Amino acid sequence: MAKNAERTYIMVKPDGVQRGLVGNIISRFEKRGYQLCGLKMRTASKELLEEHYGELKTKAFFPGLINFMTSGPVVSMCWQGKDVVKQGRAMLGETDPLKSKPGSIRGDYCIDMGKNVCHGSDSVETAQDEIKMWFKPDEVVDYSLTAYKDIYE
Ligand code: DAT
Ligand code: MG
């Protein structure tokens, strides 16, 4: 992989879209210096969400989670840059918004776990799988950032 080309999958959930937080979430990643390489909106199918949250299928909250996630459109994003998977999780905050620090997305904008506004991949491997799940190959765009030299030393 090219230098600093790690990628993650970030998604604004239906509550975040309804609450008008899409621009703010995009802006946080842009301002940090990360590179947007994929962006789209859709109401996802139950099948796609069941695959996306496959690891959680035995949990009691799983049916409610799928129901919520298919209740309206989500905004899918692919972001690229140094350490973006781990940094993206830190920018999101904890799964439980009440445990999230102010300054993080969840710490600033939400209260309950089932309405926590956003998703971020939890490892580089998961990110690769999720990007494949949510984007067609030609929807993830390769391009060089002219500001690269102002972001990295
Ligand atoms: P994260 O979204 O931080 O990666 P996760 O992968 O463990 O967290 O769970 C996916 C989503 O499921 C999470 O964002 C909100 C919901 N969820 C997780 N644990 C829950 C719980 N105990 N009760 C209700 N919803 C929960
Ligand atoms: Mg997760």
pLDDT exceeding 70 applies to what percent of the chain? 99
Between the CA of 4 and the centroid of ligand 1 the distance, in Å, is: 29
Q: For residues 38 and 46, give the distance between their C-alpha atoms in angstroms, rounded to a whole number.
A: 22
Q: What's the pLDDT at 92?
A: 98
Q: How many CB atoms lie within 10 A of CB 34?
A: 26
Question: Active site residue: 77, 119, 127, 134, which one?
Answer: 119
For 131-142, write each residue's pLDDT tens digit.
Answer: 999 999 999 999
Q: Please choose from 53, 65, 68, 85 the residue to mutate so as to test ligand 1's pocket, defined by most ligand atoms within 8 A of CB.
A: 65
Q: What mean pLDDT is reported for the chain?
A: 98
Q: Which two tokens stand for residue 41?
A: 């909106």
- Catalytic site includes residue 119: yes
Residue 1 has pLDDT above 80, yes or no: no
115 vs 13, 72, 102, CA distance in Å?
8, 13, 17
Instruction: Quote the Cα angle for 139-12-88, to 5°.
Output: 85
Q: How confident is the model at residue 97 (pLDDT cuts 50, 70, 90)?
A: very high
Q: What's the pLDDT at 2?
A: 83
